[in-house]
């Protein structure tokens, strides 16, 4: 066997080994979460941990659905995360297009300052944000989060979309403008179809950021009926005591919407960047 072939085999073995251990490292916590959610309490609190439970139960899920308000928390998170994603996408798409295509004074300084606003820590801003939301009459109201979340999600979306829009040839827009399209028609018919993979990625991250956010949701909402899913999960832990069955079953339920969103976004991410130009 040639030395080059042996080296290729060794390289392949090394790569697949790294990928395999990476998958184990990544997926094992997910497996443990799902496994624990179906493990009876008598076995869960046993000193001997088992990779595969000897018995399975759905009592944790039945208790979660019947005896807690967690499904209402899931509904609140879906509403807030969905509306925040839509609002952030609309603002960031229009803002990113203006920053990459229009010429006005201060454009470069504004572009560079976007990432700075995203990097502001939430621990510094949650008190003034709470005061702002309270003065607007949204204290202990989940819809007050719609005022807060875009303040850090829109800068992130703009920062990401600017890179996608810069990669789109200006000649496509010029051709559309010559054919009679205005700026909005060009954005809708040319830019958005081409940037669909990037928009899908940005939408996924925007949804995930608002779905997983904890600090602002904890500060703004105080009633259990207004809590989001992350606050609902945290409510199953009291001081140093945790109700692991409810914690793990609620965590499994909370991962489903984000997982479905990522699976749905794959159809746009895998699509070619030149689809919009070809359609036009």
Dist CA 223 CA 232 (whole Å): 11
The predicted structure's pLDDT at residue 1: 55
Asked if 243 contacts 35 with a C-beta cutoff of 8 angstroms, the reply is no
Tell me if residue 132 falls in helix, strand or coil. Answer: helix
Q: Would you give the distance in Å from CA 174 to the centre of its chain? A: 34
Q: Which pLDDT tens digits describe the chain residue by residue (280 residues)?
A: 566 777 788 888 899 999 999 999 999 999 999 999 999 888 887 777 778 888 888 999 999 999 999 999 999 999 999 999 999 999 999 988 888 888 878 777 787 778 777 777 777 888 888 899 999 989 889 999 999 999 889 988 888 888 888 888 888 877 887 877 888 888 888 888 888 888 888 999 999 999 999 999 999 998 988 999 999 999 998 877 888 899 999 999 999 998 888 888 777 666 544 444 444 4
Asked if 214 contacts 203 with a C-beta cutoff of 8 angstroms, the reply is no
Dist CA 35 CA 60 (whole Å): 12
Dist CA 188 CA 54 (whole Å): 56
DSSP 136: T
Distances (CA, A) of 171 to 101, 167, 190, 237: 12, 12, 11, 57
Q: Which residues are bridge partners to 241 per DSSP?
A: 238
**HSE of 40, CA atoms in CB hemisphere, 13 A:** 6
Angle between helices 196-212 and 244-270 (to 10 degrees): 170
Instruction: Specify the DSSP element, H or E, that contains 102.
Output: none
pTM: 0.84
Q: Which residues are bridge partners to 242 per DSSP?
A: 237
Dist CA 148 CA 150 (whole Å): 6
């Amino acid at each position: 066997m040639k030395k080059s072939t042996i080296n290729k085999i060794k390289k392949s073995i090394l790569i697949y080994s790294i990928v395999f251990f990476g998958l184990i490292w990544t997926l094992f916590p997910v497996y443990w979460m799902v496994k624990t959610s179906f493990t009876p309490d008598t076995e869960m609190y046993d000193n001997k941990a088992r990779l595969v439970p000897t018995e399975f139960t759905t009592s944790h899920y039945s208790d979660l659905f019947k005896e807690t308000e967690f499904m209402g928390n899931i509904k609140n998170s879906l509403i807030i995360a969905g509306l925040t994603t839509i609002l952030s996408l609309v603002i960031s798409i229009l803002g990113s297009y203006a920053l990459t295509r229009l010429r006005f004074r201060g454009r470069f300084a504004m572009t560079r300052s976007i990432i700075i606003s995203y990097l502001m820590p939430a621990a510094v801003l949650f008190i003034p944000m709470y005061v702002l939301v309270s003065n607007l009459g949204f204290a202990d109201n989940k819809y007050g989060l719609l005022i807060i979340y875009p303040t850090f999600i829109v800068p992130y979306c703009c920062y990401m979309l600017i890179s996608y829009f810069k990669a789109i040839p200006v000649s496509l827009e010029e051709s559309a403008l010559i054919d009679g399209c205005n700026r909005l028609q060009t954005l809708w018919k040319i830019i958005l179809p081409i940037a669909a993979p990037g928009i899908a990625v940005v939408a996924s991250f925007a949804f995930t950021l608002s779905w997983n956010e904890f600090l602002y949701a904890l500060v703004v909402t105080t009633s259990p009926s207004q809590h989001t899913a992350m606050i609902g999960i945290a409510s199953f832990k009291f001081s140093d005591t945790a109700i692991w069955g409810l914690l793990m079953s609620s965590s499994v339920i909370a991962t489903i919407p984000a997982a479905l969103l990522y699976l749905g976004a794959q159809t746009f991410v895998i699509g070619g960047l030149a689809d919009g130009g070809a359609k036009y």
